[in-house]
Structure 1
Amino acid sequence: MAAQFCPTCANLLIVEIGRQSNSAFRCRTCPYIYHIREKLTSKQLIARKEVDDVLGGAEAWKDVDQTDAHCPKCAHGRAYFRQMQTRSADEPMTTFYRCTQCAHNWKED
Protein backbone atom coordinates (compact mmCIF):
# COMPACT_ATOMS: atom_id res chain seq x y z
CA MET A 1 0.00 0.00 0.00
CA ALA A 2 1.20 3.51 -0.72
CA ALA A 3 2.35 5.80 2.02
CA GLN A 4 -0.37 7.71 3.81
CA PHE A 5 1.83 10.80 3.96
CA CYS A 6 3.17 12.91 1.12
CA PRO A 7 6.85 12.14 0.42
CA THR A 8 7.37 15.75 -0.71
CA CYS A 9 5.84 17.82 2.10
CA ALA A 10 4.91 15.16 4.73
CA ASN A 11 1.24 16.17 4.88
CA LEU A 12 -1.51 13.58 5.20
CA LEU A 13 -2.76 12.27 1.86
CA ILE A 14 -6.49 12.21 1.18
CA VAL A 15 -8.28 9.64 -0.94
CA GLU A 16 -9.74 11.00 -4.13
CA ILE A 17 -12.27 8.53 -5.49
CA GLY A 18 -12.74 8.41 -9.25
CA ARG A 19 -14.49 6.14 -11.71
CA GLN A 20 -13.41 2.47 -11.66
CA SER A 21 -9.60 2.53 -11.45
CA ASN A 22 -9.04 6.31 -11.35
CA SER A 23 -8.82 6.62 -7.55
CA ALA A 24 -5.73 8.20 -6.04
CA PHE A 25 -4.09 9.51 -2.90
CA ARG A 26 -3.71 13.28 -3.26
CA CYS A 27 -1.82 15.85 -1.23
CA ARG A 28 -3.79 18.96 -0.26
CA THR A 29 -0.81 21.33 -0.30
CA CYS A 30 1.42 20.23 -3.16
CA PRO A 31 0.78 18.61 -6.56
CA TYR A 32 1.76 15.08 -5.39
CA ILE A 33 -0.66 12.33 -6.55
CA TYR A 34 -0.30 8.56 -6.09
CA HIS A 35 -2.65 6.62 -8.38
CA ILE A 36 -4.23 3.54 -6.81
CA ARG A 37 -3.83 0.61 -9.19
CA GLU A 38 -5.48 -2.22 -7.24
CA LYS A 39 -7.91 -2.62 -4.41
CA LEU A 40 -6.29 -3.90 -1.23
CA THR A 41 -8.30 -5.07 1.73
CA SER A 42 -7.51 -7.00 4.84
CA LYS A 43 -9.77 -8.51 7.45
CA GLN A 44 -8.70 -9.66 10.87
CA LEU A 45 -11.06 -11.43 13.22
CA ILE A 46 -10.60 -10.50 16.86
CA ALA A 47 -11.25 -13.08 19.54
CA ARG A 48 -14.07 -12.07 21.86
CA LYS A 49 -13.29 -11.69 25.52
CA GLU A 50 -15.26 -13.37 28.25
CA VAL A 51 -17.92 -11.04 29.62
CA ASP A 52 -17.93 -10.59 33.38
CA ASP A 53 -21.34 -10.63 35.01
CA VAL A 54 -21.70 -7.10 36.39
CA LEU A 55 -24.18 -8.34 38.98
CA GLY A 56 -21.61 -10.72 40.47
CA GLY A 57 -22.71 -13.97 38.82
CA ALA A 58 -24.56 -16.84 40.49
CA GLU A 59 -22.65 -16.38 43.75
CA ALA A 60 -24.10 -12.89 44.27
CA TRP A 61 -27.69 -14.22 44.14
CA LYS A 62 -26.99 -17.01 46.66
CA ASP A 63 -28.20 -15.37 49.91
CA VAL A 64 -30.70 -12.74 48.77
CA ASP A 65 -34.27 -12.15 49.90
CA GLN A 66 -37.47 -12.75 47.93
CA THR A 67 -40.32 -10.35 47.31
CA ASP A 68 -43.59 -10.10 45.43
CA ALA A 69 -42.66 -8.93 41.93
CA HIS A 70 -44.12 -9.93 38.58
CA CYS A 71 -41.61 -11.28 36.06
CA PRO A 72 -41.96 -9.51 32.69
CA LYS A 73 -41.02 -12.74 30.90
CA CYS A 74 -43.15 -15.45 32.55
CA ALA A 75 -45.47 -13.36 34.81
CA HIS A 76 -44.50 -15.37 37.91
CA GLY A 77 -45.26 -13.46 41.13
CA ARG A 78 -42.05 -14.00 43.16
CA ALA A 79 -38.49 -12.81 42.57
CA TYR A 80 -35.17 -12.50 44.34
CA PHE A 81 -33.95 -8.92 44.70
CA ARG A 82 -30.79 -6.95 45.46
CA GLN A 83 -30.07 -3.27 45.59
CA MET A 84 -26.90 -1.61 44.33
CA GLN A 85 -25.72 1.98 44.06
CA THR A 86 -25.14 2.34 40.30
CA ARG A 87 -25.23 6.14 40.05
CA SER A 88 -24.05 9.00 42.21
CA ALA A 89 -24.68 8.94 45.96
CA ASP A 90 -27.51 11.49 45.80
CA GLU A 91 -29.51 9.23 43.42
CA PRO A 92 -31.64 6.32 44.69
CA MET A 93 -30.32 2.77 44.57
CA THR A 94 -31.16 0.48 41.63
CA THR A 95 -33.12 -2.67 42.46
CA PHE A 96 -32.23 -5.79 40.49
CA TYR A 97 -34.65 -8.72 40.31
CA ARG A 98 -34.26 -12.38 39.32
CA CYS A 99 -37.38 -14.48 38.79
CA THR A 100 -37.59 -17.48 41.12
CA GLN A 101 -39.17 -19.54 38.33
CA CYS A 102 -37.35 -18.74 35.04
CA ALA A 103 -34.24 -16.86 36.36
CA HIS A 104 -34.95 -13.86 34.11
CA ASN A 105 -33.14 -10.69 35.28
CA TRP A 106 -34.58 -7.17 35.18
CA LYS A 107 -34.05 -3.91 37.02
CA GLU A 108 -36.05 -1.07 38.45
CA ASP A 109 -34.46 2.36 38.80
Structure 2
Amino acid sequence: MEFCPDCGAMMFPKDGVLKCNSCGYSNENIDEDNYNLKKEIKAGETVTNLGEDVEVGPVTNETCPECGNDKATYKLLQTRSADEAPTRIFKCTKCKHTWRAYD
Protein backbone atom coordinates (compact mmCIF):
# COMPACT_ATOMS: atom_id res chain seq x y z
CA MET A 1 0.00 0.00 0.00
CA GLU A 2 1.37 3.38 -0.97
CA PHE A 3 0.41 6.82 0.31
CA CYS A 4 0.64 10.12 -1.53
CA PRO A 5 3.69 12.16 -0.47
CA ASP A 6 1.77 15.40 -1.14
CA CYS A 7 -1.54 14.90 0.70
CA GLY A 8 -1.17 11.54 2.52
CA ALA A 9 -4.16 9.84 0.83
CA MET A 10 -3.96 6.22 -0.30
CA MET A 11 -2.76 5.76 -3.88
CA PHE A 12 -4.28 3.20 -6.26
CA PRO A 13 -2.72 1.50 -9.31
CA LYS A 14 -4.30 2.26 -12.66
CA ASP A 15 -2.80 1.50 -16.07
CA GLY A 16 0.67 0.90 -14.64
CA VAL A 17 0.73 4.11 -12.59
CA LEU A 18 0.06 4.72 -8.90
CA LYS A 19 -2.35 7.65 -8.73
CA CYS A 20 -3.74 9.68 -5.86
CA ASN A 21 -7.50 10.22 -6.25
CA SER A 22 -7.43 13.22 -3.89
CA CYS A 23 -4.77 15.53 -5.34
CA GLY A 24 -3.82 13.86 -8.64
CA TYR A 25 -0.20 13.02 -7.80
CA SER A 26 1.09 10.00 -9.76
CA ASN A 27 4.10 7.69 -9.50
CA GLU A 28 5.09 5.69 -12.59
CA ASN A 29 7.75 3.57 -10.82
CA ILE A 30 5.61 0.63 -9.66
CA ASP A 31 5.75 -3.14 -9.95
CA GLU A 32 2.22 -4.18 -10.99
CA ASP A 33 2.71 -7.71 -9.61
CA ASN A 34 2.63 -6.25 -6.08
CA TYR A 35 -0.79 -4.68 -6.60
CA ASN A 36 -3.62 -7.17 -7.10
CA LEU A 37 -6.91 -5.28 -7.13
CA LYS A 38 -8.66 -7.48 -9.66
CA LYS A 39 -10.84 -9.42 -7.23
CA GLU A 40 -14.42 -9.42 -8.44
CA ILE A 41 -17.02 -8.94 -5.74
CA LYS A 42 -20.07 -11.16 -6.10
CA ALA A 43 -23.57 -10.26 -4.94
CA GLY A 44 -23.34 -12.63 -1.94
CA GLU A 45 -20.30 -10.77 -0.62
CA THR A 46 -21.92 -7.37 -0.23
CA VAL A 47 -22.34 -5.67 3.12
CA THR A 48 -25.76 -6.05 4.69
CA ASN A 49 -27.11 -3.23 6.81
CA LEU A 50 -28.77 -4.80 9.84
CA GLY A 51 -30.13 -1.51 11.14
CA GLU A 52 -29.84 0.03 14.57
CA ASP A 53 -31.55 -2.84 16.44
CA VAL A 54 -28.39 -4.94 16.52
CA GLU A 55 -27.07 -5.09 20.06
CA VAL A 56 -23.32 -4.78 20.31
CA GLY A 57 -21.43 -5.30 23.51
CA PRO A 58 -21.80 -7.41 26.61
CA VAL A 59 -25.25 -8.03 28.11
CA THR A 60 -25.82 -7.99 31.85
CA ASN A 61 -28.69 -8.43 34.30
CA GLU A 62 -29.63 -4.82 35.05
CA THR A 63 -33.21 -3.58 35.53
CA CYS A 64 -34.30 -0.79 33.21
CA PRO A 65 -35.81 2.15 35.15
CA GLU A 66 -38.24 2.85 32.28
CA CYS A 67 -39.76 -0.52 31.32
CA GLY A 68 -38.53 -2.95 34.00
CA ASN A 69 -36.73 -5.24 31.53
CA ASP A 70 -33.90 -7.11 33.25
CA LYS A 71 -31.36 -7.19 30.37
CA ALA A 72 -29.13 -4.34 29.22
CA THR A 73 -25.95 -3.86 27.23
CA TYR A 74 -23.23 -1.81 28.88
CA LYS A 75 -19.96 -0.03 28.28
CA LEU A 76 -17.44 1.55 30.61
CA LEU A 77 -16.28 5.14 30.08
CA GLN A 78 -13.72 7.13 32.04
CA THR A 79 -15.80 10.30 32.44
CA ARG A 80 -14.08 11.61 35.57
CA SER A 81 -10.45 11.80 36.65
CA ALA A 82 -8.23 8.75 36.18
CA ASP A 83 -8.09 7.91 39.88
CA GLU A 84 -11.89 7.44 40.08
CA ALA A 85 -13.96 4.46 38.94
CA PRO A 86 -15.28 4.48 35.37
CA THR A 87 -18.91 5.32 34.59
CA ARG A 88 -21.11 2.41 33.48
CA ILE A 89 -23.46 3.30 30.61
CA PHE A 90 -26.42 0.90 30.25
CA LYS A 91 -28.84 0.52 27.32
CA CYS A 92 -32.03 -1.52 27.71
CA THR A 93 -32.31 -4.38 25.20
CA LYS A 94 -36.10 -3.90 25.02
CA CYS A 95 -36.94 -0.17 25.00
CA LYS A 96 -33.42 1.19 24.21
CA HIS A 97 -33.50 3.56 27.22
CA THR A 98 -29.99 4.66 28.24
CA TRP A 99 -28.85 5.42 31.79
CA ARG A 100 -25.61 5.60 33.71
CA ALA A 101 -24.35 4.26 37.02
CA TYR A 102 -21.43 5.40 39.13
CA ASP A 103 -19.46 3.34 41.65
TM, length-normalised to structure 2? 0.46
Greater radius of gyration (CA): 1
Q: Structure 1 length normalisation: TM-score?
A: 0.43
